[in-house]
Amino acid sequence: MQAVAKQVPLADGPLAILEDITLAIAPGERVAIVGESGSGKTTLLSLLAGLDLPSRGEVWLDGVAIHATDEDTRAALRARAVGFVFQNFQLMPMLSALDNVALPLELRGEDGAEAARALLAQVGLGARLRHLPRQLSGGEQQRVAIARAFVTRPRILFADEPTGNLDRRTGQAVEDLLFALDAERRTTLVLVTHDERLAARCDRVLRLDAGRLVA
Ligand SMILES: Nc1ncnc2c1ncn2[C@@H]1O[C@H](COP(=O)(O)OP(=O)(O)OP(=O)(O)O)[C@@H](O)[C@H]1O
Ligand SMILES: [Mg+2]
């Protein structure tokens, strides 16, 4: 990511959300993004993952120039290389845990049921396969979201506060799970967190302050 800025148009003029961000993440690296609420962490993660476009500057993801591609190309790239755990999970409300996790593979025309079942067992939800998201606790939904992000065996995994809504013990369990899956699959991991201890487990910490990277 090179000299990236992100602003949004508002009624009383453009609002700068990110300014002059330059960074590179190496394959296999585990990077934490930290900073106060509103500092731009989710926005930065969306840009890195190709979910959003910069207002200025260049974003490269898995060798593709995100800033110069159309949405179809970005969607294909995400499906091929990227997993994403959203801050608010974004599970499909009408689909069971099993079908939510299988969906990314089904969208590729593959049969995802077996891989989904195995991953849900790995995250401790083997007995919750048929539950709808609203029938699951917050921590269970978070684990479904993590299983879904890993089911395509992505090379790069983005996670936005994956332990943000959890009590300490469940948070620790979800965190251990994330790192275990990451180590097992040699994924590049980029995660947003407020938890300094979780950040310290990563290879590198990026700190945002009011839309700028600080040392
Ligand atoms: N589409 C948008 N329109 C207007 N303002 C926005 C938009 N998206 C983000 N912002 C603003 O940009 C700032 C950064 O938002 P962002 O969601 O990246 O913060 P964050 O660091 O992830 O915060 P949190 O820790 O609370 O999740 C916030 O002040 C937010 O209000
Ligand atoms: Mg956020």
Would residue 106 count as lying in a domain?
Answer: yes
Say what the pTM is.
0.92
CATH number at residue 46: 3.40.50.300
Q: Which two tokens stand for residue 201?
A: 């487990």
Phi, psi (deg, nearest 5) at residue 75: -65, -40
6 CA distance to ligand 1 middle (Å): 11
For a substitution probing ligand 1, which of 7, 10, 39 has the most ligand atoms within 8 Å of its CB?
39
Phi, psi (deg, nearest 5) at residue 4: -85, 135
Would residue 19 count as lying in a domain?
Answer: no
Q: Which two tokens stand for residue 74?
A: 């970005």
Would residue 3 count as lying in a domain?
Answer: no
165 CA distance to ligand 1 middle (Å): 18
Would residue 190 count as lying in a domain?
Answer: yes
Number of domains in the chain: 1
Residues in contact with ligand 1 (CB, 6 Å cut-off):
8, 15, 17, 35, 37-43, 87
Would residue 13 count as lying in a domain?
Answer: no
Q: What is the pLDDT along the chain (215 residues), one digit of tens a residue?
A: 999 999 999 999 999 999 999 999 999 999 999 999 999 999 999 999 999 999 999 999 999 999 999 999 999 999 889 999 988 889 999 999 999 999 999 998 999 999 999 999 988 899 999 999 999 998 899 999 999 999 998 999 999 998 887 788 878 888 888 898 888 888 999 999 988 888 999 999 999 999 999 97
Would residue 16 count as lying in a domain?
Answer: no
Q: How far apart are CA 190 and CA 167, in angstroms?
A: 22
Domain that holds residue 43: 27-50+74-205
Tens-digit pLDDT profile for residues 140-170? 999 999 999 999 989 999 999 988 877 888 7
Would residue 165 count as lying in a domain?
Answer: yes
Would residue 86 count as lying in a domain?
Answer: yes
